[in-house]
C-alpha cells in the first residue's frame, strides 16, 4: 500500500527482523483487557452465565476504553470452534455506567434482561450478523426492561 515502504523503514532498524502473518483473532488477543477479580464481577459473571446459558458464550468483566462502549465481542478462534465450544466471549466494560449499575445491583436483583440486551449489543458492535433468535432475544429483553420499570 501507500505507506508500506515507510513502515518497513521504521521496522528495519538494522537488526534482522522476522515477520509472520497473524490472524485477526491473534490481533484481538493482544488487546484483551485483564478481567476484574472482585466478588461483584464474579457474581455478575455467574448471573450472566445463567442469563446467556443457551447462547454458548463466556462472560468476563474488565475495565477498558472507551468507557462509553458497554461491551465487546471476542469471537472464538477458528481452531477453538466446535459444536460444543463457546462461540466467543462477551466482555462487559466495568467503566461503563450501565455495567457499573449491574455490578452494584443487590444479589437478589434479576439482571437477565440487561445482560441479554448487552449480549446482542456486543454482537452488533462486533459486526456479527444477527440471527432471528438474536432479534427475538433482544425484543424479549427490551420488553422485560420496560415491564420492570417502576411507575
What average pLDDT score do residues 124-132 get?
Answer: 92
Per-residue confidence at 17, pLDDT binned at 50, 70, 90?
low
* The pLDDT value given to residue 7: 52
* The pLDDT value given to residue 9: 55
- Cα atoms in the 13 Å half-sphere on the side-chain side of 114: 18
* The pLDDT value given to residue 57: 93
Predicted TM-score (pTM) of the model is 0.76
Q: What is the mean pLDDT of the chain?
A: 84
pLDDT single digits (tens) 40-93: 999 999 999 999 999 999 999 999 888 999 999 988 877 655 666 678 999 999
* The pLDDT value given to residue 78: 73
What average pLDDT score do residues 98-116 get?
Answer: 96
What average pLDDT score do residues 2-10 get?
Answer: 55
- How many Cβ atoms from other residues are within 10 Å of residue 64's Cβ? 17
Amino acid at each position: 500500500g501507500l505507506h508500506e515502504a515507510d513502515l518497513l523503514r521504521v521496522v528495519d532498524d538494522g537488526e534482522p527482523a522476522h515477520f509472520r502473518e497473524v490472524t485477526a483473532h491473534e490481533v484481538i488477543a493482544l488487546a484483551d483487557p485483564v478481567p476484574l477479580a472482585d466478588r461483584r464481577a464474579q457474581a455478575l459473571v455467574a448471573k450472566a452465565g445463567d442469563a446467556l446459558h443457551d447462547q454458548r458464550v463466556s462472560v468476563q468483566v474488565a475495565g477498558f476504553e472507551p468507557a462509553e462502549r458497554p461491551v465487546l465481542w471476542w469471537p472464538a478462534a477458528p481452531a477453538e470452534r466446535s459444536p460444543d465450544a463457546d462461540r466467543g466471549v462477551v466482555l462487559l466494560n466495568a467503566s461503563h455506567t450501565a455495567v457499573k449499575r449491574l455490578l452494584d445491583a443487590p444479589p437478589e436483583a434479576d439482571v437477565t434482561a440487561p445482560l441479554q440486551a448487552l449480549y446482542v449489543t456486543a454482537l452488533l458492535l462486533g459486526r456479527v450478523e444477527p440471527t432471528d433468535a438474536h432479534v427475538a432475544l433482544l425484543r424479549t429483553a427490551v420488553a422485560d426492561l420496560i415491564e420492570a420499570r417502576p411507575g
